[in-house]
Chain A
Amino acid sequence: MKLSQLVPGKCGVIKNVGGEDTLRHHLLDMGLTPGTRILVRKTAPLGDPLELNLRGYELTLRRDDAEKVELEQPDDPYSCRACSAAACPYCKGSAR
């Protein structure tokens, strides 16, 4: 599953980051490393880009670039708001 396919309000865990060199490096530098939990907070009014929440900060990424980020295949992407749900399998409520 790709990051761009995640609907707003759902979060997932990054499996790997693809894309050409510059983009890929940039994404890794910004903390999109494998194993990181990432939440899609919303999409911009015109449908693109996405607003994401990871490592405690907000980041925007275009859909095309988000397509390069592969997520772990969850059975059911967990719905959470900035991951404050104690039952979230990814952060187990630690972000609260």
Chain B
Amino acid sequence: MKRIVALVGNQNCGKTSLFNQLTGSQQHVGNFPGVTVERKSGFIKQSFIQPEASNEKNLTIEVVDLPGIYSLSPYTPEEIVTRDFLMKDKPDAILNIIDSTNIERNLYLTLQLEELGIPMVLALNMMDEVTAAGNSVDVLKLEENMQLAAVPISAIKGDGISELVQRLMDIAVNKKKPAGIDFCDIGPVHQAIHSMTHLIADHCEARGLPARYCATKLIEGDKIILEELGLNENEHDILGHITTEMERDAGTDSAAAIADMRYAYIAKVTSDCVHRVGETIEQKRSTKIDAVLTSKYLAIPIFLGIMSLIFYFTFGLIGKWLSDLFGAGLERITGIIDRALTAYGLASTAHSLIVDGLCTGIGSVLSFMPTILVLFFFLAMLEDTGYMARVAFVMDSALRKIGLSGKSFVPMLIGFGCSVPAVMSTRTLSSRRDKKMTIFIIPFMSCSAKLPVFSLFSMVFFPEHAALVMVCLYVGGFVMAVISALLLKNTAFKGKPVPFVLELPAYRMPSLKNMWLSTWEKAKDFLRKAFTIILTATLVIWFLQHFDTRLNLVDDMSKSMLASLGSLIAPVFYPLGFRDWRLATALVAGLTAKEAVVSTLAVLCGATGAGLSAVLRTMLTPASAVSFLVFTLLYMPCVAAFAAVRREIGNKDAVSAMTFATGIAWITALIVYHIAVLF
């Protein structure tokens, strides 16, 4: 028998740690239908489930990890997804995890969850920190006050997990619903809730909705619930009447009155069962750490230092070592396949398809793995320690000017390394508008794969000022990102920015297991989602390179379909000052990976090194070389990045993002060319 348990809690309450403890590495990651909010689920390890404890045979418990939320209001996609899941999918039980060092605010969500009438268990996480500070929570009294089963745990250390599972099983199997709390001694609001519950009881029953929950939400002014219930005109009037009367008695509006009622109840509960001597060790430590990390003069330099270090490790030290290792391994395997096929005497076309097409394609997918693994390991570390929230705090003011929030800064910065992980890291942005806009401007951050193109052209055309040209390109890309953001903010993304209300969690030691699981999950996700797109693109380019328009196999790439395609689109670049079809062809080939621009040019010109430089000088003037560089800097990123964008914001928006980048690239190159010609 399978039972489904929803794991619900605030952000930063240790939800992911608990999920990892419960399920181990058997996790399935997907999306909630229709939105790009991540849906993670997994089965509770059988070692926790003792069959003799329940009468059911083959009991399995699936845990669905819902997004971290603070309330069941209908304002963010995360909140809506959670509400829909709880009300429509009707899990067998809710496992509500709370941060016991911050019990007041965490219980606010608990009170709302209880109104849903779903069997529920409370996991009191970080209890070890509470006791270490000399504080205490009377669990039995809390259970009595909240009418819920509560189990103290430490998700990071793994304490109390098996007891938690036992209680959860008992409650899920025996369908023990929470008794429900009356707020009778808390003033005029409870009367309104009672009248409202009576009013809508029939509607709720007909639709299978929890009446008590709907009643409080209606008083709060929840429009989604109102629509769902389909009240008649008379009932609408009564509803309005109940609310106005309550507002008059409470002396405040309904939303504030309900929030106040919940917090007042919680204050009563905590004064009864929480004994607080002072802040926890972690909280005191965080204040001290923040005195440095978010201080006026040190905050930004330290942040840039940390990011440089991560970049150095990712793209330099560890990343390079891993890449080389990967590369060498792949080369060997390709070599073995190559020799085996030659020995077998396979037809040369099929041979080339396997070695140049398939192996190269798989190689290019895998070549992203070291970067993704290393980078996301460090990002997981920043996230789990609590530093990421500080970055948003420190950088918010700057990003706000371009219509984004501080949370977009890290993804943008990662764009300088590689667009693929940059796009993937926008998943932490809660606002869909911010997320889309960030993804639109990430391609302008010049990624490391464009470096070979820049260095080749600047060495050939501006040998004396090569370094300056490179710096200008990087800065130029950043400036274009800012200009584009301003443009988008006032046109396509006019919508209101989501309020920036962010919790700064206490700094905590991250757990290696959690960081590794989160890293591995990202890598797996990339492999699964990008594999087909990248492989197909590589095969298409291989096909275009090796056949002419009459499908004859060609030895000389200049007679291939790719060359014909290059010649066909070359006129598009005439206004930009570069007329040679080989440059157009190289730009098309650059869609598989930006390094391919240089290698394709080398093949097409039949020259490398000094020879290639000489040919390039005949193709371009310094002015048109600048224009070519600007276009390369800004035009659409490689297919791997496209695959990542598509995964995050869907096909339609992904195509818009690519068109936008290429359009901006063309216009900017045009302007730059005409200015450069003047000199």
- Tell me, yes or no, whether A65 is within 8 Å of chain B by CB: yes
Residue A60 contacts which of B295, B299, B502 (CB distance < 8 angstroms)? B502
Q: Give the segment of B113-121, B252-260, B576-584, B637-645 that binds chain A.
A: B252-260
**Contact indicator A49/B397 (Cβ below 8 Å):** yes
Q: How far is the CA of A61 from the CA of B502 in the complex (A)?
A: 7
**Contact indicator B255/A82 (Cβ below 8 Å):** no
- Tell me, yes or no, whether A86 is within 8 Å of chain B by CB: no
**Contact indicator A29/B500 (Cβ below 8 Å):** no
For B283, give the chain A residue with the smallest CB separation: A56
Task: Tell me which residues across on chain A come within 8 A of B609, comparing CB atoms.
Answer: none
- Tell me, yes or no, whether B300 is within 8 Å of chain A by CB: yes
Residue B255 contacts which of A28, A35, A60 (CB distance < 8 angstroms)? A28
Give residues 11-52 of A contacting B (CB, 8 Å): 16-17, 21-31, 33-36, 42, 44-49, 51
Contact with A along B354-397 (1 / 0, CB 8 A): 00000000000000000000000000000000000100111111
- Tell me, yes or no, whether A92 is within 8 Å of chain B by CB: no
**Contact indicator A51/B104 (Cβ below 8 Å):** no
**Contact indicator B294/A44 (Cβ below 8 Å):** yes
For A45, give the chain B residue with the smallest CB separation: B299
- Tell me, yes or no, whether B105 is within 8 Å of chain A by CB: yes
Give residues 275-322 of B contacting A (CB, 8 Å): 276-279, 283, 286-287, 290, 294-297, 299-300
For A48, give the chain B residue with the smallest CB separation: B397
Residue B300 contacts which of A45, A82, A96 (CB distance < 8 angstroms)? A45
Q: How far is the CA of A49 from the CA of B389 in the complex (A)?
A: 12
Minimal beta-carbon separation of A41 from chain B (angstroms):
8
For A47, give the chain B residue with the smallest CB separation: B397
Task: Tell me which residues across on chain A come within 8 A of B506, comparing CB atoms.
Answer: 58
Contact with A along B101-115 (1 / 0, CB 8 A): 110110010000000
Q: How far is the CA of A35 from the CA of B297 in the complex (A)?
A: 35
Task: Tell me which residues across on chain B come within 8 A of A58, comparing CB atoms.
Answer: 286, 503-506
Minimal beta-carbon separation of B36 from chain A (angstroms):
20
- Tell me, yes or no, whether B560 is within 8 Å of chain A by CB: no
**Contact indicator B501/A61 (Cβ below 8 Å):** yes
Q: How far is the CA of A25 from the CA of B102 in the complex (A)?
A: 20
Minimal beta-carbon separation of A57 from chain B (angstroms):
5
Residue A45 contacts which of B286, B389, B394, B503 (CB distance < 8 angstroms)? B394
For B295, give the chain A residue with the smallest CB separation: A45
**Contact indicator B263/A45 (Cβ below 8 Å):** no
Minimal beta-carbon separation of B313 from chain A (angstroms):
25
**Contact indicator A49/B504 (Cβ below 8 Å):** no
Task: Tell me which residues across on chain B come within 8 A of A46, comparing CB atoms.
Answer: 394-398
Task: Tell me which residues across on chain A come within 8 A of B397, comparing CB atoms.
Answer: 44, 46-49
Task: Tell me which residues across on chain A come within 8 A of B295, comparing CB atoms.
Answer: 45
**Contact indicator B252/A34 (Cβ below 8 Å):** yes
Give residues 499-539 of B contacting A (CB, 8 Å): 499-506
**Contact indicator A33/B256 (Cβ below 8 Å):** yes
Using A26-B499, A62-B396 as known contacts, say yes or no to A33 and B259 having CB atoms under 8 A apart: yes
Task: Tell me which residues across on chain A come within 8 A of B276, comparing CB atoms.
Answer: 56
Task: Tell me which residues across on chain B come within 8 A of A42, comparing CB atoms.
Answer: 294
Minimal beta-carbon separation of A2 from chain B (angstroms):
16
**Contact indicator B260/A34 (Cβ below 8 Å):** yes
**Contact indicator B260/A49 (Cβ below 8 Å):** no
Using A25-B75, A59-B503, A82-B279 as known contacts, say yes or no to A45 and B259 having CB atoms under 8 A apart: no
- Tell me, yes or no, whether B400 is within 8 Å of chain A by CB: yes
Minimal beta-carbon separation of A91 from chain B (angstroms):
12
Task: Tell me which residues across on chain A come within 8 A of B505, comparing CB atoms.
Answer: 58
Q: How far is the CA of A18 from the CA of B492 in the complex (A)?
A: 29
Q: How far is the CA of A57 from the CA of B287 in the complex (A)?
A: 11
- Tell me, yes or no, whether B73 is within 8 Å of chain A by CB: yes
Q: How far is the CA of A45 from the CA of B290 in the complex (A)?
A: 12
Using A26-B75, A49-B393, A56-B102 as known contacts, say yes or no to A33 and B502 having CB atoms under 8 A apart: no
Q: How far is the CA of A55 from the CA of B279 in the complex (A)?
A: 11
**Contact indicator A55/B501 (Cβ below 8 Å):** no
Task: Tell me which residues across on chain A come within 8 A of B600, comparing CB atoms.
Answer: none
Q: How far is the CA of A69 from the CA of B276 in the complex (A)?
A: 28
Task: Tell me which residues across on chain A come within 8 A of B71, comparing CB atoms.
Answer: 25, 29
Minimal beta-carbon separation of B113 from chain A (angstroms):
13
Minimal beta-carbon separation of A84 from chain B (angstroms):
8
**Contact indicator B500/A30 (Cβ below 8 Å):** no
- Tell me, yes or no, whether B70 is within 8 Å of chain A by CB: yes
Residue B108 contacts which of A23, A31, A96 (CB distance < 8 angstroms)? A31
Using A62-B400, A82-B279 as known contacts, say yes or no to A33 and B263 having CB atoms under 8 A apart: yes
Q: How far is the CA of A56 from the CA of B263 in the complex (A)?
A: 14
Using A49-B500, A51-B294, A96-B278 as known contacts, say yes or no to A25 and B393 having CB atoms under 8 A apart: no
Task: Tell me which residues across on chain A come within 8 A of B259, comparing CB atoms.
Answer: 28-29, 33
Task: Tell me which residues across on chain B come within 8 A of A24, comparing CB atoms.
Answer: 255
Task: Tell me which residues across on chain A come within 8 A of B104, comparing CB atoms.
Answer: 31, 55-56
Using A30-B70, A44-B294 as known contacts, say yes or no to A82 and B287 having CB atoms under 8 A apart: yes
**Contact indicator B263/A60 (Cβ below 8 Å):** no
**Contact indicator B75/A30 (Cβ below 8 Å):** no
Other A-B contacts than A49-B500, A62-B500, 5 sampled, CB-CB below 8 A, are A48-B400, A58-B504, A58-B506, A59-B502, A61-B500
Q: 4 closest Cβ contacts across the A-B interface? A: A46-B397, A29-B71, A28-B259, A58-B504
19 contacts between A and B (CB under 8 A): A16-B256, A17-B256, A22-B498, A23-B499, A23-B501, A24-B255, A27-B501, A30-B105, A34-B256, A45-B294, A47-B397, A48-B396, A55-B104, A56-B101, A56-B283, A57-B105, A60-B396, A60-B504, A61-B501
Residues of B participating in the A interface, judged by any CB pair closer than 8 Å = 70-71, 73, 75, 101-102, 104-105, 108, 220-221, 252, 255-256, 259-260, 263, 276-279, 283, 286-287, 290, 294-297, 299-300, 389, 392-398, 400, 498-506
Residues of A participating in the B interface, judged by any CB pair closer than 8 Å = 16-17, 21-31, 33-36, 42, 44-49, 51, 55-62, 65, 82, 84, 95-96
